[in-house]
Structure 1
Amino acid sequence: MSDLTYPKPTRELAEMRRSLNPEAEAAFQAFSKAVFSDGALSGKTKQLIAVAVAHVTQCPYCITGHTKAARRAGATPQELMEAVWVAAEMRAGGAFAHSTLMLSTLESPLS
């Protein structure tokens, strides 16, 4: 991450965020822990999904954090890259699918 665009996450910034609204911070941490726990999907699969979503939302903090978490959960570099390709296809697919709006507009009379 570029230091010019995104501040480096630090303990001080995390503590500041926590101190400004400790209840919300605790609730978010509990929610995150519950979401990424093994369930119908394994924690590893959930982290791979998170890496893919992070690429679509283009969150550099999420990309870094969930890539590390996925590796700790046993994801391979190949699995991570495949997840990114799925994300890329989904993002491109959205543009392709929405072309129906353009095509239906072409069929409408000009106003």
Structure 2
Amino acid sequence: MEEHFYGKKAIEKAARMFTLKPELMQAYLDFDGKVFSEGKLSTKTKELAAVACAHITQCPYCIEGHTQRAKKAGATDEEIAEAIFVAVAMRAGGSMAHSCIAMGTLE
């Protein structure tokens, strides 16, 4: 087992999924491609949303990949930073919303 789960060698191991279940991997790639293609939302907007989501889900591969794709789609560094702050606010908001559990316990 690798020392660091998020290393490049770890993500390369995920490629084995293509060998084990090629039809499902292709379906996933087709779905992903359709989701991120130009539609009512621009690809840039979708990638900025994905950057924010990746920070909420805390997936380092998604953070790196969608940040690169957002730049390629024309997003500025400032827009990417703003999208990240949306994620920061959403994570903080979730914690605040769940404070009702602790406050209810104290009653």
TM-score range, shorter chain: 0.7 to 0.9
Deviations 1:41-87 (A, max 9, x none): 11110000000010111101000000010001000000000000000
Rounded Cα–Cα distance in structure 2 between residues aligned with 1:10 and 1:88: 27
Q: TM-score, normalised by structure 1?
A: 0.85
Deviation at 1:13, TM superposition (A): 4.0
Unaligned runs of 5+ in 2: none
Counterparts in 2 of 1:92 and 1:10: CA distance versus 1, 3 Å: closer
Match of 1:60 in 2: 60
Show the counterpart of 1:76. Answer: 76
Letter in 1 for 2:29: Q
Give the structure-2-normalised TM-score.
0.87
Over the residues paired in the alignment, what is the CA RMSD in angstroms? Answer: 2.0
Instruction: Report how far residue 10 of structure 1 moved.
Output: 8.6
Alignment partners' CA distance in 1, 2:11 and 2:92: 37
Q: Indicate the SS of the match to 1:74.
A: coil
Cα distance between partner residues in 2 of 1:30 and 1:96: 37
Q: Which residue of 1 aligns with 2:43?
A: 43
> Alpha-carbon deviation of 1:99?
1.0
Distance between the aligned counterparts of 1:97 and 1:42, measured in 2?
31
What is the match of residue 97 of structure 2? 97
Alpha-carbon distance, 1:20 to partner: 1.2
**CA 1:106–1:4: 2 relative to 1, 3 Å:** closer
Taking only the aligned residue pairs, the percentage that are identical comes to 52
Q: Secondary structure at the match of 2:6?
A: coil
Unaligned ranges ≥5, structure 1: none
The one-letter code sitting in structure 2 at the alignment partner of 1:99 is S
Count of residue correspondences: 105
Mapped to 1, the partners of 2:19 and 2:7 lie a distance apart of: 19
Q: Which has the larger radius of gyration?
A: 1
